[in-house]
Amino acid sequence: MALAKTEERIPARMPHAVYERISEAAQAVGATLNQFLVQAALEKANEILEQERIIALSTKAAKTVFDLIENPPEPNERLKKALKRREDLLCRK
C-alpha cells in the first residue's frame, strides 16, 4: 500500500552571508532554521496572494460597481449575439 506524501522538501542554496543572517534571525526568535524559513516563506506567499486576489476600489468606484450589480443595464445587440452564439455552441442537441 502506497503512503500519501504529507511533506515536501525545498532545497535552497544561498551565499554564506545570507545563511548566517537568516540563522541569526531564527535564533533571535527561538525557531529552528527550517521553522523560520517555512514561516517567512508562508507569510510572503500569503502577502503576495492577498495582493493578487483583492481589488481595491475607491468609494466612488465601489458605488458604481454595486449600482451596476443592483441595476444592470439592458443587454445591447453585441451581448445578445454573444449569448446566442454561446447557446448555439453549448446547448446543441
> Per residue in 55-68, pLDDT tens?
999 999 999 999 99
19-28, 65-74, 82-91, range with the lowest pLDDT: 82-91
Supply the pLDDT for residue 92.
72
Largest Cα–Cα distance in the chain? 68
What is the rounded average pLDDT of the residues 10-18? Answer: 93
d(CA 61, CA 31): 44
30: left (phi over 0), alpha (psi -120 to 50) or beta: left
Cβ atoms of 83 and 75 within 8 Å: the answer is yes
Supply the pLDDT for residue 11.
87
Output DSSP code: residue 7.
-
* pLDDT interval class at 1 (50, 70, 90): low
